[in-house]
Structure 1
Amino acid sequence: MTESDPRRSIPRTDYLLTLPEVVAAAQRLGQATVKAVIAEAQSAARDGRITPAEVAPTVIDRLGSRSASSLTPVLNATGIIVHTNLGRAPLSEAAQQAVADAAGYVDVEMDLATGKRSKRGTGVKQALLRTCPAAEDAVIVNNGAAALLLAVTALRADHSSARGHRAGPSTAQGPQVDVPVARSVDAEEIIVSRGELIEIGAGFRLTDLMTTTGARLHEVGTTNRTHLTDYANAIGPESANLLKVHTSNFRVEGFTSSVEVSELRGLADEHNLPLIVDLGSGLFTHDDALPDEPDVDAALRAGADVVIVSGDKLLGGPQAGLVLGRTEAVQRIATHPLARAMRTDKLTLAALEATITHTGNPVHDALHIDLDELRRRTETLAEVVGATVVAHDGRVGGGGAPGVPLPGWAIELPEDCAAALRTDDPAIVTRVHQGRCLVDLRCVPAGDDERIAAAITRVLTGGDDVHVDTVTHTVGSNLLGDHD
């Protein structure tokens, strides 16, 4: 590198680290992250992609827009409410505030009145029981899969008086005596319908999860039809429990039959077997918007010992596995050694309690959206960006209410707009279907319609900031006019 080489004027790292904006960013992001951004800008200058004079502004700009997390906030314009790839349920404002409040030191396991240790999650458990009076007790773990694993592990029938021994030989000295027989835990059977052995996202199979407990699955019935006699004929000395799983991410239609929880309750009582019901994304109580979706209250009243649901699906809270049911069964689950490995942290407990105790949340709002308002917003957006409005059915998503359409509308754009919108700021995720990019506002807060319009305008026309500001003003004016 010669004396006249412009690369010699690239700012040094130690100088860049002293800039006030960089010092402030280091406190927020950490020194390692800041140095990596500096190195990237210096490398760009050496390669001629930017000039040496642009290094400092580039570093400041990148650090100013950089989050402390690698996760990028997105606007969900897919029409899918509980979108697994986008983090499932967006938290309500109350839940977000609860998380912020719990981020520091909190009395998660302390009774402030006595100064002694208390039980974790007491407040959220009380909130759950108030919301679902049919439940006698509840336990919270880190997700639905953990709840199922814990339940089938802890709730196993006790047949020690009827099995595990065999008669010893007769002798001249006396009658036969019972001799213990060595038994393997992996001989115990979970009885479940073949039509309920589901695979969820990323190839995760409930069958694989349950067999890790050492139990063996005893499949009954067929894919489309299972009867009470199938369960009854399967029960034997190795039976551990009865399991009913809601097929939350698919539907079998036509010549079908399944066994209700109330019918299984009688069989469970007859043979002293625990009855576990996994609803997955089940509701707490019936919702007219999803008439065929089972709910916790109904399953418990029908006789389930425990019911398992997720906290981040139709409930609209953080990722969590909720187990509600009879006191004896829930306590066996809560005191099992695995429960300690699956417990939730303070942030989850705070968000879950706030979700339960406050009626409104984004999932509920999107599910029960005012269709007239949704159409008005969609037509306004289409008018501003010069697009066409088309009918579009949203979905619950996240394994909830499979195949149930949620009627609505979207604007139609060329397919190649999808990638451009995903990589814009803000990142907007749309639905690509049949060669079209569809923008559905069902899950987009109304306050973000202007940002959506500005982003679409940039993508369609390559408009500069002045044009974007004009579009934003137009959308805002249209929205205001419609409310006058």
Structure 2
Amino acid sequence: MADPRRAIPRTDAVLGEPRIAKAAETLGRDLVKTLVVAAQGRARAGEIEAAAVVDDVLARLPATVASLRPVLNATGVVVHTNLGRAPLSPAALDAVVAAGGTTDVEFDLDTGERAKRGRGALAALAAAVPAAGAVHVVNNNAAALLLCALTLAPDREIVVSRGELVEIGDGFRIPDLLAATGARLREVGTTNRTSARDYAAAIGPDTGFVLKVHPSNYRVTGFTAEAGLAELAGLGVPVVADVGSGLLGPHPMLPDEPDVATALAEGAAVVTASGDKLLGGPQAGLLFGDATLVERLRRHPAARALRVDKLTLAALEATLRGPRPPVAEALAADVRDLEMRAEALAASLRSTGVEAEAVSSTAVVGGGGAPGVDLPSAAVALPARYAVALRLGEPAVVGRVVRDRCLLDLRTVRPADDATLREAVRRCG
């Protein structure tokens, strides 16, 4: 009998198949060839028929060359760090595509001369917070704090409350970050109570600045006290306020969340924030404050190493100037609208034989923002087995499992994605 492996098509023949050849133009010949060789190996092992090699390759072609996969966030966590924090708005995505080619990022088309880098994004940021004397952008909020320490407290002391020496995620801790710059931390107060007198007693000739840190993912309750920015601003040294979550002004749904405009009004010399949390933009560290201090930060040699690229600048400007981003939409969503969407989705799924039910849910801000704040929401409840199938599907859908049910929380799903979510569930049924 003839060896069936002889029927396995040659590599060049498979690569020459029109559909695979077209994919190679988009994804690259090397990546597609790797898939072809793997399919041939499966055919030799008897896992697939020799005639199925082309179909096997086509079924395994990725949507893009990059390994990152789009995910539909149905967790109810508005700013989900593990899912990339803030999803960009359509306007920001368009801006990123436009900026992906050759751009005038540091070039003045009118004069033909070099121009200030990121001038459009910086102007938009300044317009969003008029109280700031100047603004600057680095690659994340940790970098913003790092630059403040390098510039304002080289070989000097940073006075900070013991209750604010927080861990910011993945094992990175504020004290370790600041100590790495060569600055010395002067801890004051206790974990639950720190007064303005504690700060005042610690300030001396070696003080670079006082640091006020947003507590991020936790809240201390009970017998507590902390000094406000207005009190600290009167101590005679610069106060750097890390508001963390990127809220530029007060938000009606998050009354206790610190924001940039309020921190400046209360006397902070420099305020740092994240661009990819409540602002709803790309990952970036935002700096606002006294014009002289911000210019010192901008001119520090380390600022070059911490600067953002043209894609970030484009996305940031579009987020600030364009329509409301998805994070803002999710926060503003009316719970009754969410309930109606959940009821419609559940009914549609039941008509296809899926065991689905509309239920009340509780969403959260996430990303270290507004700890302890619950956002009323609505979800579609499915049997728990759907959780894994949805994560592995196309597109990937991530919900959360509660009491043996997979909940798909609609506060973090845009209405335009309801049909996609329904089809993803239906395919897993």
Q: TM-score higher than 0.5 here?
A: yes
Q: Which residue number in structure 2 is paired with residue 212 of structure 1?
A: 180
* Structure 2 CA distance for aligned equivalents of residues 124 and 211 of structure 1: 31
Deviates more, 1:389-398 or 1:445-454: 445-454
Give the residue type in structure 1 aligned to 2:252.
D
Q: Which residue number in structure 2 is paired with residue 341 of structure 1?
A: 305
**2:415 equivalent among 432, 446, 460:** 446
Task: Tell me the secondary structure at the aligned position of residue 97 of structure 1.
Answer: helix
**1:357 equivalent among 299, 308, 321:** 321
Cα distance, 1:215 vs. partner? 1.1
- Contact kept in structure 1, 2:272 and 2:287, CA below 8 Å: yes
* Structure 1 CA distance for aligned equivalents of residues 394 and 59 of structure 2: 14
Cα distance, 1:354 vs. partner? 0.4
- Contact kept in structure 2, 1:110 and 1:116, CA below 8 Å: yes
* Structure 2 CA distance for aligned equivalents of residues 371 and 456 of structure 1: 22
- Contact kept in structure 1, 2:342 and 2:359, CA below 8 Å: no
Q: Which residue number in structure 1 is paired with residue 33 of structure 2?
A: 35
**2:388 equivalent among 400, 412, 419:** 419
* Structure 2 CA distance for aligned equivalents of residues 385 and 375 of structure 1: 15
**1:330 equivalent among 283, 294, 313:** 294
- Contact kept in structure 2, 1:90 and 1:316, CA below 8 Å: yes
**2:331 equivalent among 357, 363, 367:** 367
Task: Tell me the secondary structure at the aligned position of residue 420 of structure 1.
Answer: helix
* Structure 1 CA distance for aligned equivalents of residues 401 and 140 of structure 2: 30
Task: Tell me the secondary structure at the aligned position of residue 374 of structure 1.
Answer: helix
RMSD, aligned CA: 1.3
Give the residue type in structure 2 aligned to 1:406.
L
Cα distance, 1:366 vs. partner? 0.3
Once the two structures are superposed, the pairs formed by residues 288-327 of structure 1 within 5 Å of their partners are 288-327=252-291
Cα distance, 1:384 vs. partner? 2.4
- List structure 1 segments (4+ residues) > 3 angstroms apart after TM superposition: none
Once the two structures are superposed, the pairs formed by residues 39-438 of structure 1 within 5 Å of their partners are 39-63=37-61, 65-156=62-153, 186=155, 188-267=156-235, 269=236, 273-386=237-350, 387-438=356-407
Aligned-pair identity in percent equals 54
Residue-by-residue CA offset, 1:330-366 (whole Å, 9 max, x unaligned): 0010000000000000000000000001241100000
- Contact kept in structure 1, 2:246 and 2:276, CA below 8 Å: no
Cα distance, 1:90 vs. partner? 0.6
Q: Which residue number in structure 2 is paired with residue 7 of structure 1?
A: 5
Give the residue type in structure 1 aligned to 2:382.
L
* Structure 2 CA distance for aligned equivalents of residues 47 and 405 of structure 1: 54
TM-score by length of 1: 0.85
Task: Tell me the secondary structure at the aligned position of residue 373 of structure 1.
Answer: helix
* Structure 2 CA distance for aligned equivalents of residues 9 and 436 of structure 1: 48
Give the direction of change, closer, same or farther, for the CA distance of 1:459–1:57 in structure 2 (3 Å limit). Answer: closer
Cα distance, 1:276 vs. partner? 0.6
Structure 1 unaligned residues grouped into runs of 5+: 157-184, 461-484
- Contact kept in structure 2, 1:155 and 1:241, CA below 8 Å: yes
- Contact kept in structure 1, 2:213 and 2:242, CA below 8 Å: yes
TM-score by length of 2: 0.96
Cα distance, 1:62 vs. partner? 2.5
- Contact kept in structure 1, 2:194 and 2:225, CA below 8 Å: yes
| Greater strand share, structure number | 2
Cα distance, 1:244 vs. partner? 0.4
* Structure 2 CA distance for aligned equivalents of residues 333 and 99 of structure 1: 27
Cα distance, 1:231 vs. partner? 0.4
* Structure 2 CA distance for aligned equivalents of residues 450 and 358 of structure 1: 25
Task: Tell me the secondary structure at the aligned position of residue 374 of structure 2.
Answer: coil
- Contact kept in structure 1, 2:377 and 2:410, CA below 8 Å: no
* Structure 1 CA distance for aligned equivalents of residues 409 and 257 of structure 2: 24
* Structure 1 CA distance for aligned equivalents of residues 242 and 138 of structure 2: 14
- Contact kept in structure 2, 1:300 and 1:325, CA below 8 Å: yes
Counting matched residue pairs gives 424
Give the residue type in structure 1 aligned to 2:213.
V
- Contact kept in structure 2, 1:282 and 1:293, CA below 8 Å: no
- Contact kept in structure 2, 1:309 and 1:321, CA below 8 Å: yes
* Structure 1 CA distance for aligned equivalents of residues 178 and 247 of structure 2: 24
- Contact kept in structure 1, 2:91 and 2:323, CA below 8 Å: no
Q: Which residue number in structure 2 is paired with residue 468 of structure 1?
A: none
* Structure 2 CA distance for aligned equivalents of residues 264 and 316 of structure 1: 30
Task: Tell me the secondary structure at the aligned position of residue 371 of structure 2.
Answer: coil
Task: Tell me the secondary structure at the aligned position of residue 408 of structure 1.
Answer: strand
Cα distance, 1:372 vs. partner? 1.5
Q: Which residue number in structure 1 is paired with residue 353 of structure 2?
A: none
- Contact kept in structure 1, 2:219 and 2:372, CA below 8 Å: yes
Residue-by-residue CA offset, 1:253-280 (whole Å, 9 max, x unaligned): 111111111111100x2xxx22111111
Task: Tell me the secondary structure at the aligned position of residue 390 of structure 1.
Answer: strand
